[in-house]
């Protein structure tokens, strides 16, 4: 079991590394350096204005440390198939989970150390806190995170529902109280209490797990959700195959569908329009790019730059929607319906026109709100119309037919 976690961790890290390389490409690293540099500069400038009278800052520091405890979860790396294949070795799973705990522990504690370091200047400026006291506070924070991680491992077992309901909120509440005592009364007090809490949670875990069964399904779901969060992040930068959109009913948009024709020549349109509205993958893409584009358009004046942005964003949206044409290719019925491929393409072009027209109108409004003259809005309207026509009638056909 120990090798199993080691093996999975290696695979996991390799995969993460591959994505991180894609995320932190040259351009992004440069942008990030500027961003972090700017942030640091702002922070250090702001620190110059902070003095002992700003006691409210201690409350903010407390909340930051408290909220920061939420960063870092246990990477169990469990897979759906484990519910079948590892079930016979349920008792040994504890060793596996301890491994998972250890790996995640280090990762989480590094973040906690960083968090405390960021708040140190504030504590020194406002509270005139000593170096040893700071160390006590740091250990308090680490011990609180330790307790939380132990609780996370305990949660992987099937607990009494009542215990499960109150233990997590209780842990958060006690953590808050301990941090408050540490910042207001004495870091040494909080240190003792936090270590006590961490020890108590370990003891509880040791007592509990041999008598409990693993909550397989919940654990697998939890891990899948954790990974989905990571993949979602990567998906902002690159295509991640594991991120499949979900489906939402979105009844409030049904009125849009009522406008569309319903007959045999528009059968694919019936499918495409519903898929576009209810699937989160493509509709999210359109919504994100439209909002970002509109904001950029609004802030970039009403000159050529704005017009260029408008053209680029409409092209980007149209271009990224093209794969939606093949969204239903794996559904056998779309191949055996007595419908011509020509109709299918025509229906898709119609959908593309509708979506891009809505985006174009929103862009025009943003452009107009940025104090563009009506003549300029008129010019952009013509540009949009020509671009959408070319995209739909020429480019989409070229790529898809």
Partner 1 sequence: MALTVSHLVGGYSQIPVLKDISFEVRPGELVGLIGLNGAGKSTTINHIIGLLTPMKGKIALNDVTLATDPQAYKAQIAYIPETPILYEELTLKEHLEMTMLAYGLDQKAAWERANDLLKIFRLDNKLDWFPANFSKGMKQKVMIVCAFITNAKLFIIDEPFLGLDPLAVHDLLHLIKKAKENGAGVLMSTHVLDTAEKACDRFVLLHSGEVQTQGTFAEIKANYPDAGDSLNDIYLSLTGVTRDE
Q: Is residue 342 near partner 1 by the rule CB under 8 A?
A: no
Choice between 244 and 373, CB closer to partner 1: 244
Report the C-alpha gap between 29 and 12 in whole angstroms: 23
Q: Of 338, 374, 382, 398, which one interacts with partner 1 (CB under 8 A)?
A: 338
> Which stretch, 109-117, 219-227, 259-267, 299-307, contacts partner 1 (CB under 8 A)?
259-267
User: Within 13 Å, how many C-alpha atoms sit on residue 373's CB side?
Assistant: 4
**At closest approach, how far in Å is the CB of 235 from partner 1?**
19
Q: Residue 172, interface with partner 1 (CB under 8 A)?
A: no
- The span from the CA of 9 to the CA of 227, in Å, is 13
Query: Would you count residue 279 as binding partner 1 (CB under 8 A)?
Result: yes
Binding flag, residue 335, partner 1 (CB under 8 A): yes
Binding to partner 1 by residue 333, rule CB under 8 A? yes
Binding to partner 1 by residue 204, rule CB under 8 A? Answer: no
Residue of 81, 84, 336, 382 interacting with partner 1 (CB under 8 A): 336
CB 286 within 8 A of CB 253: no
Find the binder of partner 1 among 12, 168, 274, 397 (CB under 8 A).
274
Please check whether residue 285 is in contact with residue 360, taking contact to mean a CB–CB distance below 8 angstroms: no
CB 158 within 8 A of CB 215: yes
Stretch that binds partner 1, among 186-194, 204-212, 275-283, 386-394 (CB under 8 A): 275-283
Determine, following the binding rule CB under 8 A, whether residue 278 of this chain makes contact with partner 1: yes
Site for partner 1 in 114-153 (CB under 8 A): none
Token pair recorded at residue 176? 């808050």
Residue 234: CB partners within 8 Å, gap ≥ 6?
Answer: 19, 22, 23, 240
Indicate the SS3 state at residue 206: helix
Extract long-range pairs of 253-259: CB within 8 Å, 24+ residues apart: 253/277
Binding site for partner 1 (CB under 8 A): 247, 249, 262-264, 266-267, 270-271, 274-275, 277-279, 328, 331-333, 335-340
């Amino acid at each position: 079991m120990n090798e199993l976690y080691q093996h999975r961790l290696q695979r996991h890290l390799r995969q993460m590394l591959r994505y991180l390389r894609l995320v932190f490409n040259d351009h992004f690293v440069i942008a990030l350096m500027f961003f972090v540099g700017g942030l640091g500069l702002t922070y250090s400038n702001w620190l110059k204005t902070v003095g002992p009278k700003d006691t409210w800052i201690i409350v903010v520091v407390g909340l930051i440390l408290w909220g920061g405890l939420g960063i870092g979860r246990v990477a169990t790396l469990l897979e759906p198939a484990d519910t079948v294949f590892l079930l016979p070795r349920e008792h040994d799973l504890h060793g596996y989970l301890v491994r998972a705990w250890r790996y995640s522990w280090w990762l989480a504690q590094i973040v906690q150390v960083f968090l405390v370091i960021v708040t140190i200047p504030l504590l020194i400026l406002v509270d005139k806190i000593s170096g040893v006291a700071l160390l006590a506070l740091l250990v308090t924070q680490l011990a609180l995170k330790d307790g939380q991680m132990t609780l996370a491992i305990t949660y992987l077992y099937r607990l009494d529902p009542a215990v499960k309901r109150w233990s997590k909120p209780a842990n958060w509440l006690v953590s808050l109280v301990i941090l408050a005592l540490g910042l207001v009364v004495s870091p040494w007090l909080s240190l003792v209490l936090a270590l006590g809490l961490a020890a108590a949670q370990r003891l509880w875990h040791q007592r509990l797990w041999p008598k409990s069964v693993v909550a397989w399904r919940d654990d697998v779901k939890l891990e899948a959700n954790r990974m989905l969060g990571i993949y979602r992040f990567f998906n902002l930068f690159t295509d991640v195959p594991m991120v499949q959109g979900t489906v939402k009913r979105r009844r409030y948009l049904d009125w849009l569908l009522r406008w569309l024709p319903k007959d045999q020549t528009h059968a694919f349109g019936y499918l495409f329009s519903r898929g576009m509205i209810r699937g989160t993958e493509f509709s999210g893409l359109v919504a994100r790019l439209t909002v970002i584009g509109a904001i950029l358009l609004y802030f970039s004046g009403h000159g050529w730059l704005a017009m260029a942005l408008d053209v680029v964003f409409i092209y980007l949206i149209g271009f990224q929607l093209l794969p939606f044409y093949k969204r239903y290719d794996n559904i056998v019925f779309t191949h055996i319906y007595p419908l011509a491929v020509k109709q299918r393409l025509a229906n898709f072009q119609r959908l593309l026109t509708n979506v891009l027209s809505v985006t174009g109108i929103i862009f025009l409004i943003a452009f107009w709100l940025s104090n563009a003259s009506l003549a300029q809005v008129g010019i952009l309207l013509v540009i949009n119309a020509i671009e959408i026509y070319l995209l739909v009638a020429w480019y989409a056909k070229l790529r898809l037919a």
